[in-house]
C-alpha cells in the first residue's frame, strides 16, 4: 500500500470512528425533565422482556416507558437491555424499582435510566431517603463509579455528577393512606419531581369501591392530590386506561401520563381479535 493510500485509509478510519462515536453519544433521548417541562408525556408500563415490544412502542409514538420491576420477575440485566433499546428509539426509561433499597435505586440509575419510580411510599422521611440514594454528593449519597452505562463506561464528562443530579427524575407513588394523608409533607421534599397517583391501590387503601377518578368516589381524593401538587410546585403523574381518563389528564395538565401496560395492550388486541373471530364464525354458520 502506498504512503498516500495509507494516509487516506487512516484518515477515513478516523472520520468513520468520529461519526459513529457522535451518533452513539446522541442516541439517548433528551433529558426527561426537559420533556416534562415542555408538556405532557405519554408512556406505558413495560412488563415483558422483549426488544421487539419496546421497538413497537417506540415506533407507535410513546414518549417513555416505565419498566416494571415491582410486579414482574425482571432482573437488572434484563432492565439494562430494555433501557438500551428504548434509547435507540428516542424513548426515556423510568425504572419502577421493586423496593426503595439503596442497591435497587443505585442499579436502576447506573444502568442509564432517566430515573426511578418507587411504589408503596408511606412518609416524607422515606421520600428524603429515596432522593438521597438517587443523587450524588452533595445532594445525596449515591455511590460513584464511571465503569457503568450511565457514565459512558468511562467516557465520562467532567460535569457528569452534576448533570446526573440535575437530570435524574424521582417519582414516588401516592397509593397508601399514610402517603395520602401526609402528601403536603411529601411534596415539601426537595429533589422529589413527580407524585404518581396509582388509582387501584389508592382506592383500596382508602376503602373506595372502583377506580373511576373522574366521576366516582375516587374523584375527590385525586383532585385533592392534584391541587396539593400544584400548590407545592410538584409535577403530578397518573395512570390512564381509556380516552376519558386521558382527556382528564390533559385537562388537568398532568405531565406524567402512563397509559396501561404492554400486557394490557396485548390483551386488549387479543380480545378484539377473538371477538371478531367469533362474529365471523357466527355469520358464516348462519349463512350456511
Q: Please, which residues bridge with residue 43 across strands?
A: 64, 258
Lookup: cell for 250: 390533559
Lookup: cell for 22: 457522535
Domain boundaries, the chain: 31-287
pTM for the whole structure: 0.89
CA distance 145 to 154: 9
pLDDT in tens, the chain (288 residues): 555 555 555 555 554 444 444 444 446 788 999 999 999 999 999 999 999 999 999 999 999 999 999 999 999 999 999 999 999 999 999 999 999 999 999 999 999 999 999 999 999 999 999 999 999 999 999 999 999 999 999 998 889 999 999 999 999 999 999 999 999 999 999 999 999 999 999 999 999 999 999 999 999 999 999 999 999 999 999 999 999 999 999 999 999 999 999 999 999 999 999 999 999 999 999 998
Residues 6+ apart with CB under 8 A from 236: 194, 195, 196, 197, 225, 226, 229, 230, 252, 254, 255, 256
CA distance 96 to 285: 48
Comparing C-alpha atoms, which of 132, 65, 66, 73 is closest to residue 105? 132
Residues 6+ apart with CB under 8 A from 244: 214
SS3 259: strand
Residue 111 and residue 150 in contact, taking contact as beta carbons nearer than 8 Å: yes
Neighbours of 263 (CB within 10 A): 17
Q: If you classify domain 31-287 with CATH, what class do you get?
A: alpha beta
Neighbours of 199 (CB within 10 A): 22
Amino acid at each position: 500500500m502506498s504512503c498516500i493510500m495509507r494516509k487516506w485509509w487512516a484518515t477515513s478510519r478516523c472520520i468513520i470512528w468520529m461519526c459513529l462515536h457522535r451518533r452513539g453519544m446522541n442516541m439517548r433521548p433528551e433529558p426527561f425533565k426537559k420533556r416534562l417541562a415542555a408538556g405532557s408525556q405519554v408512556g406505558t408500563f413495560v412488563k415483558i422482556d422483549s426488544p421487539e415490544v419496546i421497538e413497537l412502542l417506540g415506533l407507535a409514538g410513546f414518549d417513555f416507558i416505565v419498566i416494571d420491576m415491582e410486579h414482574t420477575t425482571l432482573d437488572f440485566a434484563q432492565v439494562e437491555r430494555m433501557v438500551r433499546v428504548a434509547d435507540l428509539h428516542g424513548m426515556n426509561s423510568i425504572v419502577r424499582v421493586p423496593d426503595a433499597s439503596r442497591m435497587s435505586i443505585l442499579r436502576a440509575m447506573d444502568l442509564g435510566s432517566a430515573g426511578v419510580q418507587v411504589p408503596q411510599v408511606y412518609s416524607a422521611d422515606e421520600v428524603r431517603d429515596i432522593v438521597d440514594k438517587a443523587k450524588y454528593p452533595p445532594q445525596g449519597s449515591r455511590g460513584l463509579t464511571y465503569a457503568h452505562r450511565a457514565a459512558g463506561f468511562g467516557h465520562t464528562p467532567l460535569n457528569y455528577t452534576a448533570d446526573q443530579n440535575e437530570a435524574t427524575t424521582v417519582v414516588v407513588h401516592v397509593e397508601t393512606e399514610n402517603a395520602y394523608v401526609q402528601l403536603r409533607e411529601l411534596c415539601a421534599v426537595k429533589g422529589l419531581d413527580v407524585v404518581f397517583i396509582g388509582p387501584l391501590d389508592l382506592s383500596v387503601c382508602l376503602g373506595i369501591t372502583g377506580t373511576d377518578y373522574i366521576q366516582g368516589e375516587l374523584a375527590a381524593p385525586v383532585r385533592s392530590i392534584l391541587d396539593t401538587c400544584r400548590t407545592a410546585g410538584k409535577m403530578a403523574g397518573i395512570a390512564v386506561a381509556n380516552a376519558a381518563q386521558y382527556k382528564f389528564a390533559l385537562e388537568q395538565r398532568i405531565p406524567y401520563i402512563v397509559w396501561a401496560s404492554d400486557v394490557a395492550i396485548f390483551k386488549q388486541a387479543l380480545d378484539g381479535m377473538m371477538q371478531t373471530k367469533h362474529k365471523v364464525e357466527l355469520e358464516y354458520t348462519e349463512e350456511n
